[in-house]
Amino acid sequence: MKFAAYPFHPDLKQSIADAGFLRPTDIQFKAIPPILRGEDVLGIAQTGTGKTAAFVIPVIQLLLTTGRNELPKGIQCLVMVPTRELCLQITEVFKDLGKYTKIKTLSVFGGVSQDPQIELLTEGVHILVVTPGRLFDLISQGHIKLDQLRMLVVDEADHMLDLGFINDINQLVKMLPRNRQTLFFSATINPEIKKLAYSLVNNPIRIQISPKDPVSKNIDHAVAYISMDDKRFFLERLIKENEQSKILVFVRTKVRAERVNKALERAGIRSYTIHGDKVQQERIQVLRKFSLGEILVLIATDVSARGIDIPNVDYVVNYDLPEKVENYVHRIGRTGRGTHRGNAVSFCSEEEKPILDEITEFVGKKIKELDIKQSDYSETLDFSEVADHDWQSLIRENEDQPGPRKKKKFKKK
């Protein structure tokens, strides 16, 4: 069934067509009808399957068809998310799909001045997308009132729990009207997530997409066994052999992100970093440039792994394997989104093999191994334009790096 066949409001239909959406994804196809019927929904689906549009489209449709001549006043829908980046992204989706309507959407998050947010709140907002901290600040100051709320959306719920927001969610629910519709979305499901979900929803429609394979079928992912000391050589080569590709590199820590960035700079590669120590405006600007293709290499910590929809990422590189195994799925899910295919490669050192074993168990199947011959390995080290000792000195400076390991010796050609 195509979106054109849905009985949507004409303004919403036009914006869906403008966005290039022809047919709904599985999660959209299964979630939109019950949401439109006013039912609570518990949606579990892989990252990159279109969860955001699965609730944005019906929320806009419901607001446009309230049976009144004008849109209802007050905040009608509250969307709670774990990160500022996701907050901004979801707000943009609401604005894009509601651009022909009078629906007003606002994002509210910390790390920036609250005054502009307060000013926009006073002008009237229908949909509010928030992170917990700033939400409660503005509620306590009397700038946000939720007595007219009709819909609550909790997105990336598993990450909300990881970040310790469960008490915030429970506190928020006490402030909301009981007669509301609740939509609960998560990429993974476990007993803790299930307990939280069923404490919020009422007789929900449960939708679970591809639960046995957490990795999207559009992603070709593999692992390469590389010494910790040699990872930068392989990253340099991958980037230089794919100069026009958009490449997202994940590292373990903020310090490590900056070290890798400096190493690439010495190799003549322009790259940028995004992590928790960056000011919010800089993070927003870097993500925007990466989305537009003005930046082709971005080095990130897991702050960017959850829910961020960056178009046309060609490669995800797990420079470091993630400490939390489920983040493997979220990281590589930044490529191969929607109907596009993507590639992901993980650099695994000897020290990280136990983590790889856990990841393999989590995804439920053996991850393809890249066979690197010794001659190719040596050639990659020779390929680098950076002197060996320069790379090594950067590595040794990193206090988060595992202890020095004896580097393999290869004959120079």
Q: What is the pLDDT of residues 97-147, one digit of tens each?
A: 999 999 999 999 988 899 999 999 999 999 999 999 899 999 999 999 999
The verdict on residue 410 lying in a domain is no
Say if pTM beats, i.e. exceeds, 0.85: no
Pick the range with the lowest mean pLDDT from 62-66, 246-250, 296-300, 355-359.
62-66
CATH number for the domain harbouring residue 285: 3.40.50.300
Examine the pLDDT at 288 and tell me if it is beyond 60: yes
Domain identity same for 194 and 247: no
Q: Is 170 helix (H, G, I), strand (E, B) or coil?
A: helix
Q: Are 252 and 323 in contact (CB under 8 A)?
A: yes
Q: Are 293 and 151 in contact (CB under 8 A)?
A: no
The verdict on residue 408 lying in a domain is no
Q: What angle do CA 128, 130, 134 make, to 5 degrees?
A: 120
CA distances from residue 167 to 28, 41, 81, 147, 196 in whole angstroms, order as listed? 29, 21, 14, 21, 10
Closest listed residue to residue 71, CA positions, set 79, 83, 63 = 63
The verdict on residue 403 lying in a domain is no
Domain identity same for 249 and 326: yes
Q: Is 191 helix (H, G, I), strand (E, B) or coil?
A: helix
- pLDDT value for 325: 87
Q: Give me the DSSP letters along 67-102.
A: SSSSPPSS--EEEE-S-HHHHHHHHHHHHHHTTTS-
- pLDDT value for 386: 64
Relative orientation angle of helices 166-173 and 191-200, to the nearest 10 degrees? 10
- pLDDT value for 369: 95
- Number of domains observed in the structure of the chain: 2
Query: How far is 29 from 294, CA to CA, in rounded Å?
Result: 34
- pLDDT value for 324: 86
Per-residue pLDDT tens digits for 193-206: 888 888 889 889 99
311-339 burial, b if ≥16 CB within 10 A, otherwise e?
Answer: eebbbbbbbbbbeebbbbbbbbbbbbbee
CA atoms within 13 A on the CB side of 299: 27
- pLDDT value for 304: 62
Domain identity same for 322 and 358: yes
Examine the pLDDT at 344 and tell me if it is beyond 90: yes
Domain identity same for 335 and 371: yes
- pLDDT value for 397: 46
Domain identity same for 139 and 276: no
Beta bridge partners of 328: none
Domain identity same for 232 and 294: yes
Structure tokens at 160: 């909300």
CA distances from residue 192 to 136, 159, 189, 329 in whole angstroms, order as listed? 24, 12, 8, 19
Q: Which domain holds residue 186?
A: 3-208
Q: How far is CA 6 from the centre of its chain?
A: 28
Query: How far is 96 from 209, CA to CA, in rounded Å?
Result: 26
Query: How far is 142 from 173, CA to CA, in rounded Å?
Result: 17
Q: Give me the DSSP letters along 4-27.
A: GGS---HHHHHHHHHTT--S--HH
* CA atoms 222, 225, 229, 230: torsion sign: negative
Domain identity same for 33 and 168: yes
> Percent of the chain scored above 90 by pLDDT?
60
The verdict on residue 411 lying in a domain is no
Domain identity same for 193 and 300: no
pLDDT averaged over the chain? Answer: 87
Domain identity same for 384 and 337: yes
**Among the three residues 208, 235, 259, which one is the final residue of a domain in this structure?**
208
The verdict on residue 406 lying in a domain is no
The average pLDDT across 354-371 equals 93
Q: Are 70 and 246 in contact (CB under 8 A)?
A: no
Per-residue pLDDT tens digits for 158-215: 888 877 888 889 889 889 998 999 999 987 788 888 888 888 898 899 998 865 667 8
- pLDDT value for 389: 41
The verdict on residue 66 lying in a domain is yes
Domain identity same for 350 and 383: yes
The verdict on residue 345 lying in a domain is yes
The verdict on residue 165 lying in a domain is yes
Domain identity same for 237 and 386: yes
Domain identity same for 84 and 167: yes
